[in-house]
Amino acid sequence: MAVHLEPATKVSKKLKEMLNDAIAREIAVSIQYMWQHVQVIGVKGIAVQDQFKQTAITEMKHAESIAERLWYLDGTPTTKPALIQVGESLKEFLKLDVKAEVEAIHLYKKIIKQAQKESDVTTAFLFKKILEDEEAHHDLFTTMFEEV
C-alpha cells in the first residue's frame, strides 16, 4: 500500500500567500524589536528594554508556528522579512511598534476569516491564539508610548 504524501487539509494559493505574508511580518518585527532592545538608551529605555527582547522572542515563535503550518499545507515558508523599521529614539520605536501590531492584527483577522471560509479549522485556531498575543503586544506598546 502506497503512502499518501499530500496534507489532509487543502487550502488555496491565496491562503498560503497570506501565511507567507504573516511569516515575513513576524520575522521583520522580531528583528525590529530585538534591535530596539539592543539600541534603546536612557533611563526610560533601560526600564523597558526587556519588554522589547521578550516580544521579539514571542514574534519569532509565531514565525516558526506559521512556517510549520504552511509547510504542512504543502507551502514553502519565506525567508525574507517584510520591511524592518527600527527607529532612532524610544518614542519612535514605540510609534513604529504600535503601527506594526495594528497591521498584524488586521492581517491576522483576515487570515482567520479566509481559513474559516476554506474550512481550515487548524489555521484559524492557530491565528486566534497568535492574535491574542498581538493584541497584548499592541496594548503593551500603546501603554509604553503613553509613558514616554
- 91 in a structural domain: yes
Residue of 19, 27, 124, 144 lying closest to 80 (CA atoms): 27
- 49 in a structural domain: yes
Q: What is the pLDDT of residues 15-65, one digit of tens each?
A: 999 999 999 999 999 999 999 999 999 988 888 999 999 999 999 999 999
Q: Distance (Å, rounded) from C-alpha 113 to C-alpha 124?
A: 8
pLDDT at position 3: 58
- 141 in a structural domain: yes
- 4 in a structural domain: no
- 9 in a structural domain: no
Task: Assign residue 122 the CATH number of its domain.
Answer: 1.20.1260.10
Amino acid found at 124: A
pLDDT at position 4: 55
- pTM of the shown model: 0.93
Considering its fold, how many domains does the chain have in total? 1
What whole-number percentage of the chain has pLDDT above 90? 89
Q: Distance (Å, rounded) from C-alpha 26 to C-alpha 36?
A: 15
Taking 90 as the threshold, does the pLDDT of residue 9 lie above it?
no
- Name the grid cell of 4: 499518501
Domain of 37? 23-77+86-147
